[in-house]
Amino acid sequence: MKFACDTGGTFTDLIVEDDDGVLTMYKAATTPKDPVKGVLDALNHAAEYRGENLKTLLSAGSMLIHGTTHAINAIITGNTAKTAFLTTWGHPDILVLREAGRIEPFNFHIPYPAPYVPRALTFEIPERIGSAGEVMLPLDEAAAIDIIKKLKKLKVESVAVCFLWSIAEPDHELRIGALLDKHLPGVPYTLSHRLNPALREYRRASSTAIDASLKPLMTRYLGSLTERLAEAGFKGRTLVLTSQGGMIDAHDLAERPIHAINSGPSMAPIAGRYYAGLDSKLPNIIIADTGGTTYDVSLVRRGRIPKTRETWIGQPYRGHMTGFSSIEIKSIGAGGGSIAHVDEGRVLHVGPESAGAVPGPVSYGTGGTEPTLTDACVVLDYLDPDYFLGGAMQLDVKAARNAIDAKVAKPLGLSTLQAAASVVGVATENMVQAISEITVNQGIDPAEAVLVGGGGGAGLNSVFIARRLGCPQLVIPETGAALSASGATMSDLSSEYRAMFFTTSADWNEKAANAVLRDLEAHCKAFQKGPGKDARSHSIEFTVEARYASQVWELDVPLRKARFSGKADLARLIADFHAAHQEIFAVRDEKSIVEFVGWTATVSCGVGNKRTGRLKHTAEEDVVVGRRKAYFEGHGSVNTAIHSLHSLKVGKTQKGPAIIESPFTTIVVDPGAKFMLAPSGSVVITP
């Protein structure tokens, strides 16, 4: 038995996969002050559903896969460790100056962003390594020890070390690590050349500082998770999802916590690719995961999930860069808990502020006073107040209506229903714009892609979004309400290894390139024999960062082989780079020299099923519900058919308006759209 758990801002999703592949899905409220409690609550729901106690359920589990927002929430809220930053003498402003760039170049009212580690905790170490690895200034160990003693007096909780060109020669960083072990024992530290051996000083320094600042927090959190699971009866393996779309053991992630920043959302495209492959023939896939707090958008291009190194926490240039390649996900504050408000100019806004899990939407009756997207859907009769979460939570329709009326309808001079529809309309437009940005940036026309809707709130307006984008098909998977947790059941144990080696197409050094690949492959095989020793399958993929001569940025180009053997292999690599550049930038320059900079090997070890089973459901879920009136913009209140998800006949096409309900989600199909239940269990909609 396998457990996959994703902790979101409002709900904690759990999918249990039995040994025969049958899935069951559960949700529990997230507890922001103690996220582990939300995990245990969801597991308790699973045990109760099965008529077992928690210990019996957990003792049968071989693996628990956990996705968490704990790391990124700590960064956003400023609850990371007190971290010192040690850098090369004369370069204290790496985290201050960043890489330049401005969102609003002529808006001088925006204050210059503060560095991730304040200057008061930034210390210059007398040392200098050159770009060829030569020692330009020997390490002054006496001065370094004096600085470390200062850190002790300052009660620093973690240390980040990033020296210039340590990726060419790491001796000075390694020696600082030894001195920290001796003079500051028990305080965790991160060395940049180990964590992120990459060019561009700011990115390497930023990733090092972020990683170090998370170590105490994530060590405590993951330690608490594993200990409390063990106390509850779990004897299996605890794995944590990473930003790269894989997973690693919890104790390994505690050593590299930066990889947990986009932990949960990275699984949505993996699940979306699987479900779209079952029910659509379109080459490109847009995955939209609607949570309670955020709306996360990602892509699959012809079977491949794009990754990016332009990953910022917060706004570009104003936030902090992770410096790592991760699955490209665009998140906006437009989840079910997004708060609707009218500004002084009588303009309606929805989000980015969210009611979250606490206090929650007004209709939850848990203390919320501000109207949200969920409250608007309650007012429009999209949600059945007696069947929310399968009847586990009763929604307060009157409170939702009063909040919408007082804070949206009256300020705008609209009826309550019109105001609620306007809230849904504004939220829909926000979501459409998020999708448009990421698709156009990747050269994808939404009119040639299938939209996969995930998250508990996906069904409420995904039909509206698909129609607005021109998507010919919308797929709401059977396990879509817990899309990220579903993706976790299909994910691989994985790790990524990087190395820097510069060569060009004009001055190609095949022997040295093969030596780099050989070393990276050795790391991958060691991972296969270690954490991946019990895996059902193994694979290694190689990529290289390439660019035209004099370009500033690189593109990742997959290698067709693990080694180069002659000019033909080089020619194929150059051709692949030209094709990738053409696809993304719509231009190619075949006369230009191609430069190869960074080399990456990614090892994947399959520990689960690549094909997910069907969701188990009860006989009560097979009943046809009936009809009720629901409000649709442009149509008014319309008599609408209400279906339970599993009462639909497989393959039978029906027309809207209709509302399809399950214990975990509600799918709204407006007039003009068609829908059917596919053999996979997904609802396939033609907008």
Please tell me the distance from the alpha carbon of residue 76 to that of residue 214, in angstroms, as a whole number: 12
Residues 501 and 544 in one domain: yes
For residue 538, what is the DSSP state?
A: E
Query: pLDDT tier at 543 (50, 70, 90 boundaries)?
Result: very high
- 552-584 as b/e: b if 16+ CB within 10 A: eebbbbebeeeebeeeebbeebbebbbebbeee
More confident residue, 584 or 168: 168
pLDDT digits (tens, 9 = 90+) for 89-130: 999 999 999 887 788 888 888 888 899 999 999 999 999 999
Same domain, 575 and 597: yes
- Domain match, 107 and 210 both: yes
Domain end among 226, 245, 260? 260
Structural domain ending residue among the three candidates 231, 260, 289: 260
pLDDT in tens, 553-602: 899 999 999 999 999 999 999 999 999 999 888 899 999 999 999 999 99
On whether residue 578 sits in a domain, the answer given is: yes
| CATH code assigned at 580 | 3.30.1490
Give residue 491's pLDDT: 87
- Do the domain assignments include residue 473? no
The reply to whether 439 falls in a domain is no
Please tell me the total number of residues recorded for the chain in this structure. Answer: 687
Q: What is the pLDDT of residue 220?
A: 93
Q: CA 620, CA 78: separation in Å to the nearest integer?
A: 46
Is residue 443 over pLDDT 90? Answer: no
Question: 400-439, pLDDT tens digit by residue?
Answer: 999 999 999 999 999 999 999 999 999 999 999 989 888 8
Q: Is the domain of 195 the same as that of 223?
A: no
540, 584: one domain = yes
Residue 180 falls inside a structural domain: yes
* Count of domains observed in the chain: 3
Q: Is residue 635 part of a domain?
A: no
Same domain, 20 and 70: yes
- List pLDDT tens digits, range 604-632: 998 866 666 677 765 555 566 789 999 99
- CB-based contacts of 129: which residues, under 8 Å, 6+ apart? 135, 136, 163, 164, 165, 166, 168, 169, 171, 172
Has residue 30 got a pLDDT over 90? no
pLDDT for the residue numbered 619: 52
> Is 149 part of a structural domain of the chain?
yes
- Which domain does 98 fall in, by range? 79-216
From 590, 606, 622, give the residue that closes a domain: 606
Using CA atoms of 444, 447, 448, 454 in order, give the dihedral in degrees to the nearest 10: 80
Among 167-171, 234-238, 239-243, 261-265, which stretch is predicted with the lowest mean pLDDT? 261-265
Predicted local confidence at residue 332, as pLDDT: 79
356: left (phi over 0), alpha (psi -120 to 50) or beta: left
Task: Give the model's confidence band at 296: pLDDT under 50 very low, under 70 low, under 90 confident, else very high.
Answer: confident
The CB density around residue 135, as the number of other CB atoms within 10 Å, is 13
Residue 609: what pLDDT?
A: 66
pLDDT band at 444 (very low <50, low <70, confident <90, very high): confident
**What pLDDT, on the 0 to 100 scale, is given for residue 617?**
64
Residue 293 has pLDDT above 80, yes or no: no
The residue ranking higher by pLDDT, 70 or 356, is 70
Average pLDDT, the chain: 91
Together in a domain, 110 and 152:
yes
Report pLDDT for 359. 87
Instruction: For 108-142, give the DSSP string.
Output: TTSPPPPPSS-GGGEEEES-EE-TTS-EEE---HH
**Is 596 inside any structural domain?**
yes
222 and 212 in a common domain: no
**Is 169 within a domain?**
yes
Q: What is the CATH number of the domain that holds 66?
A: 3.30.420.40
Long-range contacts formed by 556-564: CB under 8 A, 24+ apart: 556/307, 556/325, 556/600, 559/517, 562/517, 562/521, 563/514, 563/517, 563/518, 564/510, 564/513, 564/514
What is the Cα–Cα distance from 419 to 405, expressed in whole angstroms? Answer: 7
The confidence score (pLDDT) of residue 105 equals: 83
Q: Which pLDDT tens digit goes with each residue over 497-538?
A: 999 999 999 999 999 999 999 999 999 999 999 999 988 899
Residue 94 and residue 48 share a domain: no
> So what's the pLDDT on residue 272?
92
Query: Is 143 in the same domain as 229?
Result: no
Q: Tell me the helices (H) and strands (E) count for the chain, helix number first.
A: 18, 34
- Average pLDDT score over residue span 481-485: 88
**Same domain, yes or no, for 209 and 231?**
no
503 and 585 belong to one structural domain: yes
Instruction: Tell me the mean pLDDT in the region 40-66.
Output: 93
